[in-house]
Chains A and B, each alone.
Chain A
Amino acid sequence: MIATDAPALAVVGGRGRRRVLHAAANAWSALQGLLPLIALLLLWQALGDPHSPYFPSPSTWATALRDRTSAGDLVPAVLATFQSVAVALVLATVLGVGIGGLIGASPALARCLGPTLEFLRTLPPPTIVPVAALIIGVDEKMKLFVIVFAALWPVLLNTTSGVRSLHPTLLEAARSLHLGVVARVTKIFLPALLPSILTGVRVAAPLAIIVSLLAEMLTLMPGLGALLLMAQRNFNAAEVFGLLSVVGAFGFIINAALAAFESWALMPQGRS
């Protein structure tokens, strides 16, 4: 993967490029894994019936999507869903790292918050939607709340166990170097926890997408979920399949972007 001839790496400027290349290579290998799916779609196109009411062939999906786009629905829907997912993931990460970090660092806090969090965590996010809609109303805030509620847990739990598995010597080294609280958090804790946090975010991302689509379907707020539900209600199978592939690509791209970011960010730690 990476050459071990140490001094050669010490060239200034070379490191940044290497890290980018490394991340790009990872993304490419992920794309290669898509080849079977592409082959399947091509086969479907070649053998399928374009007029089938249930299984229209892929070219009709494209037409349906083009119609949606020219009607001005598709792009705003993708952007709306993306915005909710992205903002909610950021919020979930900040909250999860904050709360998870405190719980990991303080056994007392873990004891008094633990059972409550455990209870909240087991509530299925879909069941939150009606409650949140009732209390907050049907708006963007409610959608964010529901997504954050679902995406929070993986980040939180990973951060907590990450803090607990930090080696005591690392923390003592920080103390004996007379680092203040802020320096300890930014220079020691966050970088040391980065692998745990990013693993949590990667687990959280698909959850955030699922719950976002679900909230859109249940409330018909703008987004891919709402479009999908409408298409189904209109018995437009080509559009349903078309939107489904958009959703699939959407999730795939977000996941691949996170994976690339992870391997770029963890490169200095030798863990990617």
Chain B
Amino acid sequence: MTTQSAFQCERLCIDLPGAPGVRRIIEDLDLEVGRGEFVSILGGSGTGKTTLLRTLAGLTPYSSGRAVYEGHEVRSPAPGMAMVFQDYGHALLMWRTVRRNVALGVEGRLRAAELDNKVQNAIRMVGLERFKDEYPWRLSGGMQQRVQIARALAMEPSALLMDEPFGALDAMTKASLQDQLLAVQAETGATVLFVTHDIEEAIYLSDTIILLKGSPAHIARRIRVDLPRPRDQIVTKELPEYLQLRHQLYEAFRHEIHA
């Protein structure tokens, strides 16, 4: 399915300033993500999932090694990349309506009709048509997160970087957005890097799961998910392969927690 790589990391090290001095968060991480691949990054709280994603998004500089996106070293947010932040409350412009928030990344470059079309489309994908003229501060947390997702989708990115995007959602909305995301990805062929701490979500969505572990963090496991696509919330989750992966990952996590 994937012939060329979208992301490549070689011996990637990331340091962040901390109280006692500089602290190494990620050490010697090697990673290859193919174009169109769906990769989930799993790991306990504070292992460095967000940090890794932010580095690949060009927001956090790395200290050594290489991080490459489409053949270019990542130094700043690359064109074609869109990011969905973990704290949606600060990622949205509270003074803009939903529609104008979604338009933010594309409004400079398109004609009015085309823009309108794209924005409507993105809003429909996350099911917020009824609220398109509402201000984000009048929406629930989950709805605000959906606005952020719509804003990223409106950019029609070739790589979508998402940091626990469904963490704030109820189970029903979560399931429906997972399916929406898979449909969008199947349609656009976008590469997706998806941070989550939900094991079942990671299996359901991904082609590959990487498990971050330790401090500084490294890739403890790299798990290939060969479940057939399109996936289905009921059928897929009853497949023996699914259950086996689930077992394997919970097992790995148990060791992680006890370590």
Q: Do A and B come from one complex?
A: yes
A interface residues (Cβ-Cβ under 8 A, vs B):
4, 6-7, 9-10, 12, 15, 167-170, 172-173, 175-180, 183, 187-188, 191-192, 194, 268-270
| Structural contact, A7 and B131, CB atoms closer than 8 A | yes
Among B82-90, B116-124, B174-182, the stretch in contact with A: B82-90
The interface residues of chain B lying within 8 Å CB-to-CB of A178 are: 77, 79, 105
- CB neighbours (8 Å) of A15 from chain B are 133
Inter-chain contacts of A270 with B (CB < 8 A):
94, 135, 137-138
A residues less than 8 Å from B104 (CB atoms)? 177, 179, 187
- 6 smallest CB-CB distances across A and B, nearest first, come from A169-B90, A10-B133, A177-B105, A167-B90, A176-B83, A173-B91
Question: Cβ of B133: which chain A residues have Cβ within 8 Å of it?
Answer: 9-10, 12, 15
CB-defined contacts of A173 to chain B, threshold 8 Å: 83, 85, 90-92
- CB-nearest residue of chain A to B57: A176
Please, how many angstroms separate the alpha-carbon atoms of A15 and B135 in the complex? 11
Q: How far is the CB of B149 from chain A (nearest CB, A)?
A: 13
Which residues of the other chain, B, contact A194 by a CB distance below 8 angstroms? Answer: 95
* CA distance in complex: A187, B106 (Å): 13
30 A-B residue pairs with CB within 8 Å: A6-B138, A6-B139, A10-B130, A10-B131, A15-B133, A169-B87, A170-B90, A172-B54, A172-B59, A172-B91, A173-B83, A173-B91, A173-B92, A175-B59, A175-B76, A176-B58, A176-B81, A176-B82, A177-B105, A177-B151, A177-B155, A178-B77, A178-B79, A178-B105, A183-B108, A191-B93, A191-B96, A192-B95, A268-B94, A269-B95
Bound together, the chains give a CA A71 to CA B139 distance in angstroms of: 60
Known contacts A6-B131, A187-B104, A268-B96; A175/B138 CB under 8 A: no
Contact between chains at A9 and B76 (CB < 8 Å): no
Nearest residue (CB) in B for A270 is B137
Interface of A is mostly: helix
Flag if A269 contacts B91 (CB, 8 Å): no
The answer to whether B90 and A176 touch across the interface, beta carbons within 8 angstroms, is no
Look across to chain A and name the residue whose beta carbon is closest to the beta carbon of B82.
Answer: A176
Contact (Cβ within 8 A) A268 B105? no
Q: In the complex the two chains form, what is the Cα distance from A166 to B141 in whole Å?
A: 20
Which chain A residues border B91 with CB–CB below 8 Å? 169-170, 172-173
Query: Which residues on B sit within 8 Å (CB–CB) of A4?
Result: 138
Please, which residues of chain A bring their CB within 8 A of the CB of B132? 10
Distance from A172 Cβ to chain B, minimum over Cβ atoms (Å): 5
B95 A191 Cβ-Cβ under 8 A? yes
Q: Which of B76, B95, B155 has the most CB of A within 10 A?
A: B95
Say whether B32 faces chain A, with CB atoms less than 8 Å apart: no
Residues of the B chain whose Cβ atoms lie less than 8 Å from the Cβ of A188: 93
Is B59 a contact partner of A268 (Cβ separation < 8 A)?
no
B134 within 8 A of A: yes
CA separation between A211 and B134, bound complex, in Å?
43
Q: Which residues of A contact B58 (CB under 8 A)?
A: 175-176
A11 to chain B, nearest CB (A): 8
B95 in contact with A6 (CB, 8 Å): no
Q: How far is the CB of B92 from chain A (nearest CB, A)?
A: 8
Expressed in whole angstroms, the Cα–Cα distance for A106 and B128 within the complex equals 39
Q: Which residues of B contact A10 (CB under 8 A)?
A: 130-134
Check B85–A268 contact: CB distance below 8 A. Answer: no
Bound CA–CA A10/B139 (angstroms): 13
User: A192-B93, A268-B95 known; 13 other A-B pairs, CB under 8 Å?
Assistant: A6-B138, A10-B131, A168-B90, A169-B85, A169-B87, A169-B91, A170-B91, A173-B83, A173-B91, A175-B59, A178-B77, A268-B97, A269-B137
* A175-B77, A187-B104 as given contacts; A6 in contact with B134, CB under 8 Å: yes
B77 touches A269 (CB 8 A): no
Q: Measured between C-beta atoms, what is the minimum distance from B155 to chain A in Å?
A: 7
Query: When chains A and B are docked, how far (Å) is the Cα of A6 from the Cα of B57?
Result: 34
Q: How far is the CB of B51 from chain A (nearest CB, A)?
A: 13
